[in-house]
Chain A
Amino acid sequence: MSLAVLLRVAWQALRRNATRSVLTMLGIIIGVGAVITSMAIGTGAQAAVLAQIESLGANLIVIVPGSITTGGVSLGSGTRTSLKLEDVTAIAREVPAVAGAAPYSQTNAQVVAGGANWYTSIGGTTPAWTTVRNWPVAEGRFFTEAEVRQSAKVAVLGSTVAQNLFPASESGAVGAMVIIKNVPFRVVGVLASKGQSGFGRDQDDVVVVPITTLQARLTGQTWVNSILVSAATPDAVPGVVDSTERLLRLRHHLTVRQPDDFSVRNIADVQQVRIATSQTQTLLLAGIAVVSLVVGGIGIMNIMLVSVTERTREIGLRMAVGARGRDILLQFLVEALTLASVGGLVGIAIGIATAQGASLVAHWPVIVSPLSVVLGFVSAALVGVVFGFYPARRAAALDPIVALRYE
């Protein structure tokens, strides 16, 4: 029999029991849908994590002060005052393969502009920060080294702050004055929008000023809260971490027996952990998908066995008019394959719809890859062939005399 005839016969047989066929397909539909959805969410999450690494700044290393321990009570990392501005210049000058190093100190304050005001995070840094964080200015300019040396009262606004303080302004924020803790600052630029960080915080809700101005006018600190260093290449990151640690121990006059009074964190490592986590979640979903496909396959096998029993006389008649065993085998195999393939196609459609729905409703990043669609369809077809084979072989092995007499 030709393939066209086989497909037509299979389609007629499935349409005869339309409800039953659809119910049988459900397992495959759910399985393939889960494959598509889980892969879309997994791929999307990984792409998002990689994008976050990019948005934090490529090859970023963060140095924070160590913890103070008094009377056996540790106050947590970052409580020491060991990091100084001179450490930043030393790292930039002496550690090889460093693309940039910038201090970053932070405080929170109310920012006032005309009638509007906004409570936000005030960051103090140097111009190197734009390179290290890979964060360009959208309007105006960033402040200069000279302005850092002079402790100039200039500020660069994050886009969220700019929108909230100057919502209707035609000329924008650049050139306007803002007051932070009673100190007037001239806005020289607005940062490009970065969106949410990997932890859901709005990165654009920030005002950046020269570190010297922050220390002198706003916080009174003489130390820095953190130092951001970016390595020239991803491969250089471990070397930069080592060299920075040695340089800081030297500069802080630590003896061999003293522990570090700072700690170095490699952002890429943190992100690697997050990628691994999302991969684990993807694997879990894929596991559910495989289980569902197997259950769907068993459903197909079950219904095909029922179908073979119901159609025993038909099989006997087909054999009597000249069907060979392999004709019968093929007929039922094609039927199971059609069942699984149609289920697979519906599953692909539902999987894509679910993924898009998750992206719309929960704002999850999803990417439906062509590979996952192909994989979904192939696994459905495979399930059809594997689980359809046993019933088909039983049909083919029937004795025509017994089958013809079957009531």
Chain B
Amino acid sequence: MQRPVLGNEWLIDVRDLTKVYGDGPTAVHALRGVSLRVRAGEFVAIMGPSGSGKSTFMHVLGCLDRPTSGSYRLAGEEVSRLSPDQLALARNTRIGFVFQSFNLLSRTTALENVELPMLYAGVPREERLRRARALLDQMGLGERADHRPSELSGGQQQRVAIARALANGAPLLMADEPTGNLDSTSSADILALFRWLNRERRITIVLVTHDVTIAAWSDRVVTFRDGLIIGDRPVEEAVPASVRAGVPSMAAARGVRA
């Protein structure tokens, strides 16, 4: 058998993953045996009501938590049994997080926020500044590098957070309700940025949301319920055409960003 070519490698390869909190009769089975494969360069939306296990799944994928059983290979490496320090290294170099509430350090400039992951990676100062400035330029925030989060709009803060997520060149971006705190214009702006990163920069994106209009921007929709995956379909099948009509074309989206 021939090995798959690089583009066909599974970036995420999860098999029979379970996560149980507590034990005995009060044990909570948050994940009951989940299997999912994601190729490098995919844009996947994870949907489901609260309590469906999608957040727990996201924490395991993001190396913030370890599964109770099952296997999780990230870029070919088994990470489900890593030590806390090794998990920290995986989060530092392979995964970028984007949160609903931005989670920028207040009273710290945009530039310093983008520098943060590089501090823990031991990147020299000159290189840190160079990379952070380049990323902020790409996000259209070159002029705002020395502003603090409180001096930026919500959309701008989220773009700083995205720059931070990309600082160490992570191939995987994990976004948890990234537009939850944004108005519709800023939401479209951020989602267009995600799609641009996915198409142009080949960044794999896993986006957690409960909103089908957000999921409409992705290519593949995975649905959770009661700790199990109950649906895994292309966006054309998972999201009605009327909803997808609200998503601008690639060219139009770039226009929005500019």
Cβ–Cβ contact B105 & A314, under 8 A: yes
The answer to whether the Cβ of A324 comes within 8 Å of any Cβ in the partner chain is yes
**Contact A322:B103 (CB < 8 A) given known A1-B120, A5-B119:** no
A-binding segment of B33-41, B88-96, B198-206: B88-96
Cβ of B59 within 8 Å of any chain A Cβ, yes or no, is: yes
Residues of B in contact, count (CB < 8 Å): 25
A323 at the interface (CB under 8 A from B): yes
Extra inter-chain contacts (17) besides given A314-B105, A401-B59, A401-B65, CB under 8 Å: A2-B122, A12-B107, A313-B103, A316-B103, A317-B105, A318-B120, A320-B64, A320-B97, A321-B116, A321-B164, A322-B88, A322-B89, A322-B91, A322-B168, A323-B120, A325-B88, A401-B64
Docked complex Cα distance between A136 and B120 (Å) = 73
* Neighbouring A residues of B88 by C-beta, 8 Å: 319, 322-325
Set A1, A316, A325, A401: member contacting B119, Cβ < 8 A: A1
List 6 A-B residue pairs with CB atoms under 8 Å apart, sorted by A's residue number: A12-B107, A317-B105, A318-B120, A322-B91, A327-B120, A401-B64
Q: Interface size bucket, A side?
A: 20 to 34
Please give the distance in Å from A265's CB to the nearest CB on chain B.
71
Q: Does B234 contact A (CB under 8 A)?
A: no
Query: CA separation between A321 and B120, bound complex, in Å?
Result: 8
Q: Does A404 belong to the interface (CB within 8 Å)?
A: yes
Cβ of A400 < 8 Å from any Cβ of B?
yes
Selected contact of B93 from candidates A12, A319, A322, A401, CB within 8 Å: A322
Q: Given A320-B97, A400-B64, do A325 and B84 touch, yes or no (CB 8 Å)? A: yes
A16 within 8 A of B: yes
What is the CA–CA distance of A336 and B213 in the complex, to the nearest angstrom? 48
Which residues in B have their C-beta under 8 angstroms from that of A314? 105
When chains A and B are docked, how far (Å) is the Cα of A383 from the Cα of B211? Answer: 53
Instruction: List residues of chain B with CB within 8 A of the CB of A326.
Output: 85
CB <8 Å contact, B64 and A318: no
Q: Mark B41-72, 1 if CB is under 8 A from A, else 0.
A: 00000000000000000010010110000000
Tell me the bound Cα distance from A16 to B107 in angstroms: 8
Within the assembled complex, what's the spacing in Å between the Cα atoms of A291 and B62? 48
| B 134-172 to A, binary, CB cutoff 8 A, 1 in contact else 0 | 000000000000000000000000000000100010000
The A contact surface, by secondary structure, is helix
Complex Cα gap A12–B116 (Å):
14
Q: How far is the CB of A15 from chain B (nearest CB, A)?
A: 9
Instruction: List 10 A-B pairs, minimum CB-CB distance, nearest first.
Output: A322-B92, A322-B120, A321-B117, A324-B88, A317-B103, A324-B85, A320-B97, A400-B64, A322-B91, A323-B120
B10 at the interface (CB under 8 A from A): no
Shortest CB-to-CB span from A290 to chain B, Å, is: 37
With a cutoff of 8 Å between Cβ atoms, the chain B residues found around residue A313 in the complex are 103
Judged by a CB distance under 8 angstroms, whether B121 is at the interface is: yes
B62, B65, B116, B122: the one contacting A318 at CB < 8 Å is: B116
Chain A residue numbers with a CB within 8 Å of B64 are 319-320, 400-401, 404
Measured between beta carbons, the chain A residues less than 8 angstroms from B62 are: 320
Interface centre among A314, A324, A404, by most chain B C-beta atoms within 10 angstroms, is A324
Contact with A along B108-123 (1 / 0, CB 8 A): 1000000011011110
B105 and chain A: residue at smallest CB distance: A314
CB-CB < 8 A to A322: which residues of B?
88-89, 91-93, 117, 120-121, 168
Instruction: Kindly state whether residue B196 has any CB partner on chain A within 8 Å.
Output: no
Residues of A within 8 A of B97 (CB): 320-321
Specify which chain B residues have a CB less than 8 angstroms from the CB of A319 in the assembled complex.
Answer: 64, 88, 91
Q: In the complex the two chains form, what is the Cα distance from A16 to B105 in whole Å?
A: 12
Considering the complex, give the chain B residue whose CB is closest to the CB of A317. Answer: B103
Nearest-neighbor residue (CB-CB) of A326 within chain B: B85
Docked pose: A320 CA to B93 CA in angstroms: 11
Residues from chain B with a CB closer than 8 A to the CB of A320 are: 62, 64, 91, 97, 103
CA distance A317 to B85 in the complex (A): 15
